[in-house]
Structure 1
Amino acid sequence: MTVEFCGGFCSLGGFPYFGVQDKMQCFCGSSYGRFGISNEADCNYPCSGNSSQVCGGRWRNSVFSLTYPKRRCFKQSQMPSLNVSSTLPTSWSIAAQTALDCLIPCEASADCQAVIFSGQQRLCHLLRFAYPPASLSITDGDYFVRG
């Protein structure tokens, strides 16, 4: 674990915040946190992937913010061969007649980074990350990612 690795991973989901904890844990979030700021001395564990960086402490996150350029377009692309494993939901599905029926709700959601549209099933999978979740068994269709 490094600060850059966690930040890069969380940026795939468009999250505004990320935190590293206990030397090797990475957390992505949409808010700073309900517990507020703790004593900086509580975050003193070296990162497992780079001992010169601090990766939080026991039950303490080193928190960072991410900023993004304004994105307004999608580009059709090949389906990525990588996928995301998570205990939290990383996709949701809606009925759709066309790819545009997928892209409009994705654009309206800050949590949506990519879309898989299956015309045959008339179904749209909106993805929180630019990679499909491992739990999504159907990955055929047209793939669009925010550009």
Structure 2
Amino acid sequence: MTVEFCGGFCSLGGFPYFGVQHRRQCFCGRSYGHFGKSNETDCKFSCLGNSKQECGGHWRNSVFALTYPTASSSRRCPASNLPTSWSIAAQTALDCLIPCEASADCQAVIFSGQQRLCHLLRFAYPPASLSSTDGDFLFAAESARSKTV
């Protein structure tokens, strides 16, 4: 679990908030704060996927807000026109990771050695159309990403 992974997952549902808890749990929500604010010292557990990030505590969420770009209605493209994945031919998993890391839109890849095909993913969560695809699931290097949530 990382803050980026949870945020990417919750953005698929268009949620305005997400929270990470107890090093490994991710929650998506439309509101937060029902139980009030806890002490910051209660939310100091490091994330299992990135020990430099804080992922809540015992029954405590580290809460983040997601923002989505807005555009004037005359220039807006329907969300359905934005692909969540695209495919390229590849011989090795490295052939997938190089173009993924070079693209600001790629978070992860699925490499199918049998098909010699690479599916590049906009989110670090496979879309339903690829959920039954056999292959290696790989994340793009976090050092190549600088996201602010």
TM-score normalised by structure 2 residue count: 0.50
Residues 94-121 of structure 1, C-alpha deviations (whole Å, 9 max, x = no match): xxxxxxxxxxxxxxxxxxxxxxxxxxxx
Residues 69-96 of structure 1, C-alpha deviations (whole Å, 9 max, x = no match): 126542357897xxxxxxxxxxxxxxxx
C-alpha distance 45-79 of structure 1, shift in aligned 2 (>3 A): closer
**Root-mean-square deviation (CA), in Å?**
2.9
CA distance in 1, matches of 2:45, 2:9: 20
Percentage of identical aligned residues: 67
- The amino acid of 1:11's aligned partner reads S
SS state at 1:64 partner? strand
SS state at 2:52 partner? coil
Give 1:61's aligned residue.
61
CA distance in 2, matches of 1:77, 1:67: 17
- The amino acid of 1:25's aligned partner reads Q
CA distance in 1, matches of 2:41, 2:82: 45
CA distance in 2, matches of 1:57, 1:14: 25
Normalized per residue, the structure richer in helix is 2
Structure with greater contact order relative to length (CA < 8 Å, sep ≥ 6)? 1
| Structure 2, unpaired ranges of 5+ | 86-125, 130-149
CA distance in 2, matches of 1:60, 1:12: 23
- The amino acid of 1:12's aligned partner reads L
Q: Displacement, 1:36? A: 1.9
Give runs of aligned pairs for residues 1-147 of structure 1, distance below 5 A. Answer: 1-70=1-70, 72-74=76-78, 75-76=80-81, 131-132=127-128
C-alpha distance 49-79 of structure 1, shift in aligned 2 (>3 A): closer
Q: Displacement, 1:6? A: 0.5
Q: Displacement, 1:33? A: 3.0
C-alpha distance 57-77 of structure 1, shift in aligned 2 (>3 A): closer
Aligned residues: 87
SS state at 2:57 partner? coil
CA distance in 2, matches of 1:20, 1:11: 14
